[in-house]
Amino acid sequence: MAWRCSGVTNAELIKNMMQAGLIHSDRVLAAMTKVDRAHYVRSQAEAYEDSPQYIGHGATISAPHMHAHAAENLLPFLRPGAHVLDVGSGSGYLCAVLHHLVSDNANGKVVGIEHIPELAEWSKENLRRDGLGPALDDGRIEIIAGDGRKGYPSGGPYHAIHVGAAAPTLPIPLIEQLTQPGRMFIPVGTSSQEILQVDKDSTGNVKQEALMDVMYVPLTDRNQQS
Ligand code: SAH
């Protein structure tokens, strides 16, 4: 299904999301404009449709409006220099957007963790096609093949954590790897799912707020995913 924000070019897709009120901030606008979604999809003809697209191995690249929601929600924690974890990084698209938000003239770092090794490799090719080879080479973007439910402690703690697949329950290791303060954007649930915004404050207190109902692929075991 194509949503109302679809465009013929990347610029038009982003402009339509801005006009629909899905992108509010100039910083998210600038970052999403720099990332050409055509480099992160299998079907070029549908690159600029505001809909998820199958990318193989039981995974989909999320719809652009969900990536916009995630970037806007995490934005207060995506200052230049911030460390960010993207769990279930799939195509690598959101890693690219997050990179542009935290690396502007600063040593921000984005770690993407993806449990299908073929997708982790493909996402690196996508990022290179999108001009982000230097960021991969110098470690400002790191793509790890592994189980994201455990997070990636050696790259943390993280000011912001995005989870791109639905967890049955909140994974404790991810909460532990948030900075104080820090924020996680995570879909939680099985047959019905909602996005939770999980905030850790400067004293370590954690609170959660449900934002919207969604439908994501599950955050699961590698051998459970076809
Ligand atoms: N934001 C990504 C979403 C991809 S779909 C994008 O837009 O491209 C969700 C991804 O989570 C899939 O690639 C799937 O392989 C991955 N995934 C599912 N369970 C996982 C786990 N336990 N650890 C790491 N990745 C996982």
Assign residue 122 the CATH number of its domain: 3.40.50.150
What radius of gyration, in Å, describes the C-alpha atoms of the chain? 16
Please give the share of the chain, as a percent, with pLDDT higher than 70: 98
Which residues are part of the catalytic machinery? 62
Ligand 1 contacts CB of residue 115 (under 6 A):
yes
Ligand 1 contacts CB of residue 78 (under 6 A):
no
CA of 22 to the centre of ligand 1 (A): 23
Question: CA–CA separation, 49 vs 1, rounded Å?
Answer: 9
> Is 146 domain-assigned?
yes
Ligand 1 contacts CB of residue 219 (under 6 A):
yes
Which structural domain range is residue 155 located in? 63-224
> Is 172 domain-assigned?
yes
DSSP state of 124: H
> Is 114 domain-assigned?
yes
Ligand 1 atom, smallest distance to 86 CA:
1
What is the tally of structural domains in the chain? 1
Give the amino acid at 71.
A
pLDDT of 90 over the 90 cut:
yes
Residues 180-213 pLDDT 10s: 999 999 999 999 999 999 999 999 999 999 999 9
Residues 18-41 pLDDT 10s: 999 999 999 999 999 999 999 999
Compute the average pLDDT of residues 61-74.
Answer: 97
Ligand 1 contacts CB of residue 47 (under 6 A):
no
Residues 115-168 pLDDT 10s: 999 999 999 999 999 999 999 999 999 999 999 999 999 999 999 999 999 999
Going by C-alpha positions, the residue among 68, 126, 62 that lies closest to residue 88 is 62
Instruction: Report pLDDT for 5.
Output: 84
pTM as predicted: 0.97
> Is 3 domain-assigned?
no
Residue minimizing CA distance to atom 17 of ligand 1: 88
Please give the share of the chain, as a percent, with pLDDT higher than 90: 93
CA of 203 to the centre of ligand 1 (A): 31
